[in-house]
Structure 1
Amino acid sequence: MYISILCFGIFSCQDLNLEPKGMLGGPELFGNEYGVKKYFAAIYNALPIEDFLYYGTNSNNAYRPDNYWEAGKNSLGNMSGEFFNTWVQVDNDGFAYWPYDRIRDINVFIQSFPEYQVNYTAEVYNNLLGEAHFLRAFFYFGLAKRYGGVPIIKEAQDPLAPVETLEVPRNSEYDTWKFIYEDLTFAMENMSTDIDETGRANKYVAAALLSRTMLYAGSIAKYSQYLGFQGEAATSAGMAGIDASKADEFFQYCVDAGKVVETGPYALYTRGYPDKAKNFADLFLDAESSESIFIKSYDITAPGNNRLRHSYDALMCPQPDMSSFVGAESYPPLDFMELYDMPAIVNPDGTPVRFDHRGDIRNGMEPRARGTMYFDGDVLRGKAFDIQRGIYKNFDVLASDADQGSPNAPINNPNNRILGGRGWTTEINGTTLNITGAHGNFEDQGGENNGWGSAFIRKYVDPDRATSDVREYRSDQHWVVFRLGEIYLNTAEALYELGSRDEAFNYIEKIRERAGATITRPALDQSTSNIGTINKANYPYSIEKSLQFIRDERARELYGENHWWWDLRRWRTADQVLNQFRHRVLSSYYVADEGKYIYLDEINRINRSWTASKQCYYEPIPWGEIGKNRNLLPQNPLY
């Protein structure tokens, strides 16, 4: 709203030749670098960055939510099933994102700025103009990944112009992504390489956004043919889908952009070595990380209600030991945990592996897993995690006989399997035992502060914050918008899609070495399959197993960073991966007559499922906008 008012002020003052006191016009805003920076500030704040505050579910203010402490409950990770929680489900319809007011603000600048070129050196002028193109591309990215083709508006419209000139039709999806490419190419060619100003774009940030956007576009071009939308009007018009012959064009743009990023002063984060688990966790907290290309900053000293604080710690940590608010709302499911070289929990003969300690489940897992998740025995804020599902008096059957936790399985008879609530104990052979542990799965509680599974989220959690200070709106760790690890993964995937398999795995090896994972090239396996590794979903197409490995590497490295949902959408696999997707949870039990622990693969106890339909690939053009502009039709497929 602030920027919109400023824009109105600019044109009103010029048209009427008035200079009202207190009103900032073109000369004040565009005639000096400080004014431009002030003008851009509100635009940066409105960028479609899906961070701690982002509401993944239906909300008119997804990027600027009103009750924003609840963003953790309604995060993109929770919405898409990347986390397990009991609050939200997949939203196929979106939330009518339509940021043309911000695009207008940028177009006003791009049109007006040349009038003030004499006030700047060539370097500063070009940098600011390039920055404007970067900002515009970012908003168009938010549109394109939701709707496909949208109206490309390069100049600020005159609200008094004839209606027929204001009702701009949609461009094709190919043209929309190509426009993003052109804007970002302009930005890269004109922006400075100066990286000193945190939270502000430069040449490398523009290249990072180009890397991400072009990977999206290439995937959409290659895989949209499998959706079965060919008979839809928007598809026939080129607005929802790109011809598969264009895929390599965009994949090459992605590779080229990644190479530009590599010329910058960035390196995979290793400051925390030799402890690779702590190193990976610190990557997201270190404000001077060598890997961060672009971050969104927060400030705990800022006054309330300005979205410069968030509540991530309060919603990821159990209370009262590690949080003073409602407690943890999100948990990593077994479906993702087992991607990290998790040790076997079942012996070759089908019996559960016996562990001396619950925390032994961490042994053998790659350090990146421990940097991403907290396991039993890990310490946070002076307290050790204590995570248990229950107690078996004896367990003398196969793991499969537990039937994924079903109460109908004979071994799970309540006389043998003991479940409980917070703090409950039971006595067995004269010994009093805590049933669940302090942070376990409590039968007497619902979604809040209930340990669904055998791990908690570590990524982005600030371990140095005192428990008494872990409350709503009391966190201010930054969000990493772009980092080198993602760019390596983007480049690797694009190279593989282009047929450069060996070069692709050079980047994967860099990621896995830093992660502490086994350095492996899966024999560059070119055998094909249509089975994905998450939920063993049937893809609508076959892919080489080595490419599936690269996709899985994204899931491991970028877990909890709000990429997975969009990856599933661009790969056109969301409706299969999230087809009655029921999270599996890793449940720990104490076997009383043996004094040992076992882990069982169970379905979440409320049988919660996630389902995405084919509608999710293209959200509907907002009907309110169609009511104002019928040229936005045809509507997207399935709406």
Structure 2
Amino acid sequence: MKTKYFIYLLLFCGSFSCDIMDKAPLDIISEEAVWNDKALINSYINGVYSELDFLIRDGYGYEEVDPTSGLSDEGRQGRDWHPLYSTWKGGFLNKDGGLLEQWRYSTIRKTNEFLEKIETSAAVSESEKKVLAGKIRYARAITYFFMVKRYGGIPIITKAQSIDAPMEELLVSRDKEIDVYDFIIDEMDEIAKDLPESYGSDEVGYPTKYAALALKSRAAMYAASIATWGKVQINGLVEFRQMKQNVSGKHLMMLLKKLSILNLLHYIIRIQMIKLRISGNCSWMRTM
């Protein structure tokens, strides 16, 4: 009798569908959902751009150029309170980069994955895909630009690598520095055709056609600089070092004294010109 009831119980439980247990998790967004929702696609792009934090410091120099030059023999830093110096003294900087390391290949992978997935998305039109892809390709190019300026030749990766891929596919060979610049220039030529000249107020900050052309020109300028000056050290510093080695200390001191006198004369002349301007007695300068 008990066996009979047990069988009935199993049949009763089995009569219910298992779909009630197949619920989507509420704390994550599935990959399928992302590429089928226009808002989520735009959120993905925003996430990529949030990683371009180096653009905030671009051209400022204080965060990277000034401290790193002070740590090396390129310049002299009169202050030792900058966090980078404490980092150096603590031993957290080394020949492998340490805290200065800037390998942005996680961002590169996200851009590559976007370009692969957006092709099959039904949430946006073909014309929209071109603009969205242009935004991501710009982010990828400017990330490569940031790294090539820092490291020279680096691997150019244009596919989303998988962690379980063969090691020979993951360990990509390093490309030449000029090839990286050519890649950036070619990318900007292509996306400049698809990016708009301006955006609405809800898309301020995204790259336009002119931003792409500006990045192209800047990359070309760096590439041209390498082609012209890549084998010559700037400002003749090599010659000065050789002069210090070949010239006696006495002659060197005489040369430095002459330079100091010239600088002093230049300073005195500037002071006199300022005094004349203040007094208004500088009509002779206006006739020159």
Q: Contact conserved, 2:115 with 2:136, CA < 8 A, in 1?
A: yes
Q: Which residue of 1 aligns with 2:152?
A: 148
Instruction: Give me the identity figure in percent.
Output: 27
Counterpart contact for 2:154–2:175, Cα < 8 Å: yes
Cα distance in 1 for partners of 2:34, 2:40 equals: 4
User: Unaligned stretches of 5+ in structure 1?
Assistant: 1-16, 57-71, 229-343, 365-639
- CA distance 1:42–1:226, shift in 2 (3 Å): same
The within-5 A match list for 1:327-346 is 345-346=267-268
Q: Would you say the 8 A contact 2:192–2:213 is kept in 1?
A: yes
Q: What does the per-residue CA deviation read over 1:332-378, in whole Å, with 9 as the maximum and x for residues that have no partner?
A: xxxxxxxxxxxx85239xx8567499xx6xxx9xxxxxxxxxxxxxx
- Where does residue 179 of structure 1 map in the other structure? 183
| CA root-mean-square deviation | 3.8
CA distance in 1, matches of 2:224, 2:158: 24
Cα 1:55–1:356 change in 2 (3 A) is closer
CA contact (8 A) 1:98 1:143 kept: yes
Instruction: Answer yes or no: is the 8 Å Cα contact 1:193–1:204 preserved in 2.
Output: yes
Does 1:132 find its partner at 2:125?
A: no
Q: Which of the residues 197, 201, 208 maps onto 2:207?
A: 201
Q: State the SS of the aligned residue for 1:135.
A: helix
Question: How far is the alpha carbon of 1:224 from its aligned partner?
Answer: 0.6
Change in Cα spacing, 1:52 to 1:177, as seen in structure 2 (3 Å) is: closer
| Number of the residue aligned with 2:102 | 97
Please state which structure has a larger fraction of its residues in helix.
Answer: 2
**Per-residue CA distance 1:70-90 (angstroms, 9 max, x = gap):** xx6x46456558998524699
Are the counterparts in 2 of residues 188 and 204 from structure 1 also a CA contact under 8 Å?
Answer: yes
C-alpha deviation, 1:98, in angstroms: 0.3
- The structure, 1 or 2, with the larger RCO (C-alpha pairs under 8 Å, 6+ apart) is 1
- Separation of aligned partners in 1, 2:154 and 2:67: 28
Calculate the TM-score normalised by the size of structure 1: 0.29
CA distance in 1, matches of 2:76, 2:47: 31
Choose from 25, 36, 41 the match for 1:36: 41
1:146, distance to aligned residue in structure 2 (A): 1.3
Residue 127 of structure 2 is aligned to residue 123 of structure 1: yes
- Structure 2: which 5+ residue stretches go unaligned? 1-21, 89-93, 235-265, 283-288
Equivalent residue, structure 2, for 1:46: 51
**In structure 2, how many angstroms separate the alpha carbons of the residues matched to 1:214 and 1:46?**
24
Q: Secondary structure at the match of 2:117?
A: helix
Q: Which amino acid aligns with 1:96?
A: E
1:26 aligned residue (25, 31, 45) = 31
Once the two structures are TM-superposed, the CA of residue 166 in structure 1 deviates from its matched residue by 1.1
CA shift for structure 1 position 48: 5.2
In structure 2, the CA distance between the partners of 1:174 and 1:52, relative to structure 1 (3 Å rule), is closer
Displacement of 1:19 in angstroms is 4.0
- Counterpart in the other structure of 2:12: none
Cα distance in 1 between the residues matched to 2:190 and 2:42? 19
Distance 1:154 1:53, change over 3 A: closer
Rg comparison, structure with higher value = 2
Change (3 A) 1:45 1:83: farther
For 2:79, the aligned partner's letter is T
TM-score, normalised via structure 2 length = 0.61
Larger relative strand fraction: 1
